[in-house]
Amino acid sequence: MGAVVYSGLQAEHNATAAPGVKPVGIMIVTRLKAQADEVVSDINAYVGRHVAVADHTDSRATPEQLHESDIVVITHAAYTRAKETLSGVNADRWHRLTRWRGGRRLLTIIDEALANVVEHTQLKLDELSRVIGHITHEMRLSHAVEVNALETLRECMLFQAGANDGFGVGTSLAWEAGGSLEDIAPLSIMSCRALAGAPRAAS
Protein backbone atom coordinates (compact mmCIF):
# COMPACT_ATOMS: atom_id res chain seq x y z
CA MET A 1 0.00 0.00 0.00
CA GLY A 2 1.53 3.24 -1.16
CA ALA A 3 0.07 5.15 1.79
CA VAL A 4 2.11 2.99 4.17
CA VAL A 5 5.41 3.82 2.50
CA TYR A 6 4.53 7.48 2.03
CA SER A 7 3.41 7.87 5.64
CA GLY A 8 6.53 6.11 6.91
CA LEU A 9 8.80 8.32 4.85
CA GLN A 10 6.95 11.41 6.05
CA ALA A 11 7.32 10.34 9.68
CA GLU A 12 11.06 9.91 9.16
CA HIS A 13 11.23 13.30 7.49
CA ASN A 14 9.39 14.85 10.44
CA ALA A 15 11.97 13.40 12.82
CA THR A 16 14.96 14.67 10.83
CA ALA A 17 13.60 17.96 9.50
CA ALA A 18 15.64 21.08 10.07
CA PRO A 19 14.51 23.57 12.71
CA GLY A 20 11.70 25.75 11.43
CA VAL A 21 10.42 23.15 8.96
CA LYS A 22 6.79 22.36 9.78
CA PRO A 23 6.16 18.63 10.29
CA VAL A 24 3.29 17.04 8.38
CA GLY A 25 0.82 15.00 10.38
CA ILE A 26 -1.32 12.48 8.49
CA MET A 27 -4.78 11.02 8.96
CA ILE A 28 -5.58 7.80 7.10
CA VAL A 29 -9.22 6.71 6.77
CA THR A 30 -9.98 3.04 6.09
CA ARG A 31 -13.25 1.18 5.62
CA LEU A 32 -12.78 -1.43 8.36
CA LYS A 33 -11.26 -1.48 11.85
CA ALA A 34 -9.12 -4.49 10.91
CA GLN A 35 -7.72 -2.51 7.99
CA ALA A 36 -6.89 0.39 10.31
CA ASP A 37 -4.97 -1.94 12.63
CA GLU A 38 -3.13 -3.49 9.68
CA VAL A 39 -2.11 -0.10 8.28
CA VAL A 40 -0.79 1.00 11.68
CA SER A 41 1.16 -2.22 12.08
CA ASP A 42 2.65 -1.93 8.59
CA ILE A 43 3.69 1.71 9.05
CA ASN A 44 5.31 1.11 12.43
CA ALA A 45 7.11 -1.96 11.06
CA TYR A 46 8.33 0.02 8.05
CA VAL A 47 9.70 2.85 10.19
CA GLY A 48 10.94 0.62 12.99
CA ARG A 49 9.26 2.58 15.78
CA HIS A 50 5.79 3.71 16.82
CA VAL A 51 4.79 6.64 14.65
CA ALA A 52 1.20 5.58 13.84
CA VAL A 53 -1.79 4.79 16.03
CA ALA A 54 -5.27 3.44 15.31
CA ASP A 55 -8.32 4.97 16.92
CA HIS A 56 -11.60 3.05 16.77
CA THR A 57 -14.06 1.40 19.14
CA ASP A 58 -11.96 -1.76 19.50
CA SER A 59 -8.68 0.09 19.98
CA ARG A 60 -9.19 3.56 21.39
CA ALA A 61 -6.08 5.74 21.34
CA THR A 62 -5.35 7.93 24.35
CA PRO A 63 -5.20 11.71 23.95
CA GLU A 64 -1.44 11.45 24.51
CA GLN A 65 -1.06 8.90 21.70
CA LEU A 66 -3.08 11.05 19.32
CA HIS A 67 -0.98 14.07 20.25
CA GLU A 68 2.37 12.33 19.78
CA SER A 69 1.69 10.15 16.70
CA ASP A 70 2.65 11.39 13.26
CA ILE A 71 -0.11 9.27 11.74
CA VAL A 72 -3.58 8.45 13.05
CA VAL A 73 -5.69 5.80 11.31
CA ILE A 74 -9.47 5.75 11.71
CA THR A 75 -12.46 4.22 9.94
CA HIS A 76 -14.92 5.80 7.51
CA ALA A 77 -17.62 5.63 10.21
CA ALA A 78 -15.41 7.37 12.77
CA TYR A 79 -14.48 10.07 10.26
CA THR A 80 -18.13 10.75 9.44
CA ARG A 81 -19.17 10.84 13.11
CA ALA A 82 -16.33 13.20 13.99
CA LYS A 83 -17.26 15.54 11.14
CA GLU A 84 -20.87 15.58 12.30
CA THR A 85 -19.79 16.85 15.73
CA LEU A 86 -17.59 19.58 14.26
CA SER A 87 -19.93 22.41 15.27
CA GLY A 88 -21.53 20.71 18.27
CA VAL A 89 -20.74 20.16 21.91
CA ASN A 90 -18.48 17.22 21.01
CA ALA A 91 -16.33 19.21 18.60
CA ASP A 92 -13.26 18.28 20.66
CA ARG A 93 -13.41 14.80 19.09
CA TRP A 94 -12.56 16.25 15.66
CA HIS A 95 -9.94 18.49 17.24
CA ARG A 96 -8.18 15.54 18.90
CA LEU A 97 -8.05 13.63 15.61
CA THR A 98 -6.83 16.49 13.47
CA ARG A 99 -4.34 18.13 15.85
CA TRP A 100 -1.05 16.72 17.11
CA ARG A 101 2.24 17.97 18.49
CA GLY A 102 3.11 19.34 15.04
CA GLY A 103 -0.05 21.43 14.81
CA ARG A 104 -2.88 20.64 12.44
CA ARG A 105 -2.66 17.39 10.47
CA LEU A 106 -2.05 18.65 6.95
CA LEU A 107 -2.79 15.49 4.97
CA THR A 108 -5.80 13.16 4.92
CA ILE A 109 -5.65 9.92 2.92
CA ILE A 110 -8.93 8.09 2.27
CA ASP A 111 -8.31 4.61 0.89
CA GLU A 112 -11.80 4.16 -0.58
CA ALA A 113 -14.65 6.48 -1.52
CA LEU A 114 -16.68 7.55 1.49
CA ALA A 115 -20.31 6.54 1.12
CA ASN A 116 -23.27 8.68 2.15
CA VAL A 117 -21.22 11.62 3.41
CA VAL A 118 -22.56 14.22 0.99
CA GLU A 119 -25.64 15.84 2.45
CA HIS A 120 -28.03 18.20 0.71
CA THR A 121 -30.19 20.69 2.57
CA GLN A 122 -33.10 22.24 0.73
CA LEU A 123 -35.09 25.34 1.56
CA LYS A 124 -38.14 26.28 -0.51
CA LEU A 125 -39.17 29.85 -1.12
CA ASP A 126 -42.63 29.49 0.42
CA GLU A 127 -41.12 27.88 3.54
CA LEU A 128 -38.61 30.72 3.87
CA SER A 129 -41.38 33.31 3.50
CA ARG A 130 -43.41 31.53 6.18
CA VAL A 131 -40.46 31.55 8.60
CA ILE A 132 -39.79 35.26 8.01
CA GLY A 133 -43.46 35.97 8.66
CA HIS A 134 -43.16 34.44 12.14
CA ILE A 135 -40.19 36.61 13.17
CA THR A 136 -41.19 38.94 15.98
CA HIS A 137 -40.01 42.50 16.47
CA GLU A 138 -37.95 41.40 19.48
CA MET A 139 -36.22 38.70 17.41
CA ARG A 140 -35.42 41.24 14.70
CA LEU A 141 -33.74 43.46 17.26
CA SER A 142 -31.74 40.68 18.93
CA HIS A 143 -30.78 38.83 15.70
CA ALA A 144 -30.52 41.64 13.18
CA VAL A 145 -27.72 40.09 11.10
CA GLU A 146 -29.43 36.71 10.82
CA VAL A 147 -32.82 38.22 9.96
CA ASN A 148 -31.22 40.46 7.34
CA ALA A 149 -29.50 37.42 5.82
CA LEU A 150 -32.81 35.53 5.60
CA GLU A 151 -34.55 38.48 3.98
CA THR A 152 -31.69 39.01 1.53
CA LEU A 153 -31.76 35.33 0.63
CA ARG A 154 -35.51 35.57 0.03
CA GLU A 155 -34.99 38.60 -2.24
CA CYS A 156 -32.39 36.69 -4.24
CA MET A 157 -34.66 33.67 -4.55
CA LEU A 158 -37.58 35.86 -5.64
CA PHE A 159 -35.45 37.62 -8.23
CA GLN A 160 -34.09 34.34 -9.60
CA ALA A 161 -37.59 32.88 -9.77
CA GLY A 162 -38.75 35.95 -11.65
CA ALA A 163 -35.80 35.74 -14.06
CA ASN A 164 -36.68 32.13 -14.87
CA ASP A 165 -40.41 32.74 -15.06
CA GLY A 166 -41.69 31.74 -18.47
CA PHE A 167 -38.81 29.43 -19.29
CA GLY A 168 -40.55 26.42 -17.76
CA VAL A 169 -37.60 25.51 -15.55
CA GLY A 170 -37.16 25.24 -11.82
CA THR A 171 -35.05 27.64 -9.81
CA SER A 172 -32.31 26.87 -7.31
CA LEU A 173 -29.54 28.71 -5.53
CA ALA A 174 -26.52 26.98 -4.04
CA TRP A 175 -23.53 27.87 -1.88
CA GLU A 176 -20.52 25.90 -0.76
CA ALA A 177 -20.43 23.71 2.33
CA GLY A 178 -19.25 25.65 5.34
CA GLY A 179 -20.98 28.83 4.24
CA SER A 180 -23.30 30.58 6.66
CA LEU A 181 -26.17 33.00 6.55
CA GLU A 182 -23.73 35.75 7.47
CA ASP A 183 -21.99 35.11 4.14
CA ILE A 184 -25.22 36.04 2.37
CA ALA A 185 -26.02 39.13 4.41
CA PRO A 186 -23.80 41.58 2.47
CA LEU A 187 -25.57 40.73 -0.78
CA SER A 188 -27.77 43.40 -2.30
CA ILE A 189 -30.51 43.00 -4.85
CA MET A 190 -28.03 44.22 -7.47
CA SER A 191 -25.65 41.39 -6.59
CA CYS A 192 -28.61 39.02 -6.86
CA ARG A 193 -29.13 40.21 -10.41
CA ALA A 194 -25.46 39.64 -11.14
CA LEU A 195 -25.61 36.16 -9.66
CA ALA A 196 -28.75 35.26 -11.57
CA GLY A 197 -27.17 35.24 -15.03
CA ALA A 198 -28.82 32.94 -17.52
CA PRO A 199 -31.81 30.82 -16.48
CA ARG A 200 -30.80 27.54 -14.85
CA ALA A 201 -32.78 24.36 -14.48
CA ALA A 202 -32.93 22.82 -11.04
CA SER A 203 -31.12 19.51 -10.81
Compute the distance between CA of residue 131 and CA of residue 150 in angstroms, rounded to an integer. Answer: 9
% the chain with pLDDT above 90 = 46
pLDDT tens digit string along 28-45?
999 999 999 999 999 999
Cβ count within 10 A of residue 45: 12
Compute the distance between CA of residue 166 and CA of residue 102 in angstroms, rounded to an integer. Answer: 57
Stronger pLDDT, 112 or 186, i.e. the higher one: 112
The full 3-state SS of 167-179, as one line of letters, equals CCCCCCCCCCCCC
Residues 6+ apart with CB under 8 A from 74: 27, 28, 29, 30, 36, 54, 55, 56, 82, 97
Chain centroid offset of residue 193 CA: 30
Residues 6+ apart with CB under 8 A from 98: 27, 104, 105
Asked whether 76 and 31 are in contact (CB, 8 A), the reply is: yes
pLDDT tens digit string along 58-94?
999 999 999 999 999 999 988 888 877 665 555 688 8
Report the predicted TM-score, pTM, of the whole model to 2 decimal places: 0.57
φ, ψ for residue 118, nearest 5 deg:
-95, 120
> 99-100 and 103-104: which strand pairing?
antiparallel
Q: Does position 138 have pLDDT exceeding 50, yes or no?
A: yes
Stronger pLDDT, 157 or 119, i.e. the higher one: 157
Residue type, 51: V
Compute the distance between CA of residue 198 and CA of residue 203 in angstroms, rounded to an integer. Answer: 15
pLDDT band at 132 (very low <50, low <70, confident <90, very high): very high
C-alpha distances (whole Å) from 172 to each of 81, 121, 158, 160, 177 are 29, 12, 11, 8, 16
Residue-averaged pLDDT of the chain: 80
